[in-house]
Amino acid sequence: MNLADMSIKEIRVTMEKLDEVPKDFLQWLKEDKRAGVQALAKQAEAALARQEKLAQMWADMTVYEKAMFDKGHQYIFGVDEVGRGPLAGPVVACAVCLPKDFYLPGLNDSKKIPVSTREAFCEIIQRDALAVGIGIVDAARIDTINILAATKEAMKLAIQQAGSAPDVLLIDAVQLTGMDCEQVPIIGGDAKSVSIAAASIVAKVTRDRLMAQYAEQYPAYGFDKHAGYGTPEHLAAIARFGPTPIHRKTFTGVKEHA
């Protein structure tokens, strides 16, 4: 490729077609003295730095998975939940088994990813994963057995619903009873394991969609805005209108009005 024979517009169009910026291409840009090309070189250098940062983050977040693959395990499940803290709505868990060659740069804890990216990542994960299971435990059940027990129940349901038997479970800080496989509880796992991060993405998107549906059913509470968490707006609505059937009657902020 001879950039000297290309216009700045042609170079820009070429760059837009590249999924990643090759280092030799960046070097060619730097050697071109045209001001417009130098500006493109700076853009390309920043893009390459982002790519390298994401690649390093991926390497850091696949340490657990690589260790398990090296032991000969194939079905390595990441398990996570969303919705332990809200005053309303279910707790939702997800179990995800990713292929060994899966690569989704930018995958991270669902709370650290913008909504639009989260939605896009959720589609990719559900399309490409070897197995995906979702477990949902509603507010009434949470009130009956407590939130920790409900969280574990949702996780077990998710694993069962995935349809494949796991060799290993990578779980965000929880140990499950009655499982016939190795478990690796990881504190802050959704930021340390791509499998757990993938599970957190699917669980978060699933729960947010459910809460948006509840917002249509109970429009006075704003569930689509706070997802059931105890915001001032939500607490004021509970005080004014009382709890709905999806509120957790044993939780502080709700039980006073139940």
Reported as a single tens digit per residue, the pLDDT across 10-58 is: 878 888 777 777 878 888 888 888 888 888 888 888 888 888 899 999 9
- Lowest-pLDDT choice from 3-7, 62-66, 87-91, 215-219: 3-7
- Domain identity same for 131 and 206: yes
Number of folded domains in the chain? 3
User: 83 with 7, same domain?
Assistant: no
- Reply yes or no on whether the pLDDT at 1 is more than 80: no
The DSSP secondary-structure symbol of 24 reads: H
Computed over every residue of the chain, the mean pLDDT equals 94
Summarize pLDDT for 210-257 with one digit per residue, the tens.
999 999 999 999 999 999 999 999 999 999 999 999 999 999 999 999
Using the predicted structure, report yes or no on whether residue 113 has a pLDDT greater than 90: yes
Q: Are residues 235 and 120 in the same domain?
A: no
Say if residue 195 is in the same domain as residue 220: no
Report the predicted TM-score, pTM, of the whole model to 2 decimal places.
Answer: 0.87
Q: Is the pLDDT of residue 2 over 70?
A: no
CB atoms within 10 A of CB 103: 13
Q: Is 174 in the same domain as 77?
A: yes
Whether residue 218 is found in the same domain as residue 205:
no
Round to whole Å and give the CA distance between 92 and 76.
20
Of 22, 41, 60, the domain-final residue: 60
Element spanning 201, H or E = helix 194-217
Same-domain status, 222 and 156: no
**Which residues 6+ apart lie within 8 Å of 176 measured at CB?**
152, 155, 156, 169, 183
Within this chain, do residues 184 and 249 fall inside the same structural domain, yes or no? no
**In this structure, what CATH number is given to the domain that contains residue 126?**
3.30.420.10
Domain end, chosen from 212, 227, 244, is at: 212
Long-range contacts of 235-239 (CB under 8 A, 24+ apart): 238/87
Name the residue range of residue 207's domain: 63-212
**Are residue 86 and residue 107 in the same domain, yes or no?**
yes
Binding residue ranges for a divalent metal cation: 80-81, 172
Give binding residues as ranges: 80-81, 172
What would the mean pLDDT of 65-70 be, rounded to a whole number? Answer: 97
pLDDT digits (tens, 9 = 90+) for 122-134: 999 999 999 999 9
Spatial CA neighbour of 77 closest among 29, 130, 121: 130
- Do 96 and 175 fall within a single domain? yes
The reported pLDDT for the residue numbered 156 is 98
